[in-house]
Structure 1
Amino acid sequence: MKIIKKVKVKQIITEKSKKALFERFNYHKMRLEQECQQLLFEQRKMNNKTAFSKQDIAQKFHEEIELRKDKIKAIDFKMEQLEILAIGSEILENEVEALVEVEEGTHWSKLMNDEAIILKDDIVVRIDKE
């Protein structure tokens, strides 16, 4: 029988990966800022055309803009943390699912131990079985 198990993917920070992460964060931040501007534009457009309450429209758009501003603050925090992160540090990048074979007699605790795939500049350098 096969089961699905979560496996962590960690990245070893190098100058190259640090720069790539910074660029990715910057890109997401820019996209969120553009969405805020677009929402403000849409709000002005709706205020001129619709029979809905301007207060209701303002409230809904305010909520959406605040959500994006919160995400921008989180990205700013991540960028600050990235700046102080030392080269050679390991960070958790994401998790993937792996198929694992389970048979009678398999040691469950060994099977369910945490595993991690370690990347360095997008290349697998080792697989840890904790």
Structure 2
Amino acid sequence: MKILQTVVVKQILTEASKQKLLEKYFARRLQLQKETEQLQFELKRLEKTKKFQSSALKIHFEKEMKKRQEKDKLLEFQIEQLHMLPIGSELKEKEVKALVDVEIGDRWDERLGQVSIIIKDGIVEDIR
């Protein structure tokens, strides 16, 4: 019988992977900043048309801008944490599903223990 099992994919931090992560975080922060500016622009534009109720519109746009500011703060925290991590640290990247064969007589605890795939610079280093 085949069953699905969750497998954790971990990345070993190297100079190259650290730089890639930093670039990804900075790009995401820039995107959030652009989205916030666009929301501010749209709010001003819609307020000038006076087709919509101003207070409800403002509340909605402020809520959206606040969401992006919170995401930006989280990214800022992640960048700080990344700077503190030593090279060689393992970072949880994501979780994937894997098919596992289960047969009569298998040891359940051993068969379904937490499996991890370790990646270093995009190459599978180990499967634990």
TM-score, normalised to structure 1, is: 0.94
1:71 corresponds in structure 2 to: 71
Cα drift, residue 50 of structure 1: 4.0
How many residues are paired up?
A: 128
5+ long unaligned stretches in structure 2: none
1:31 corresponds in structure 2 to: 31
SS at match of 1:11: strand
| Root mean square deviation of aligned Cα | 0.9
1:12 corresponds in structure 2 to: 12
Q: Deviations over 1:67-121 (max 9, x none)?
A: 0000000000000000111011111111111011122222211122001000111
Superposition map of 1:102-117 within 5 A: 102-117=102-117
5+ long unaligned stretches in structure 1: none
1:126 corresponds in structure 2 to: 126
- Aligned equivalents of 1:14, 1:76: Cα separation in 2: 20
TM-score, normalised to structure 2, is: 0.96
Q: In percent, how many aligned pairs have the same letter? A: 41
- Aligned equivalents of 1:66, 1:6: Cα separation in 2: 34
Give the aligned residue type for 1:64.
Answer: E
- Aligned equivalents of 1:120, 1:45: Cα separation in 2: 48
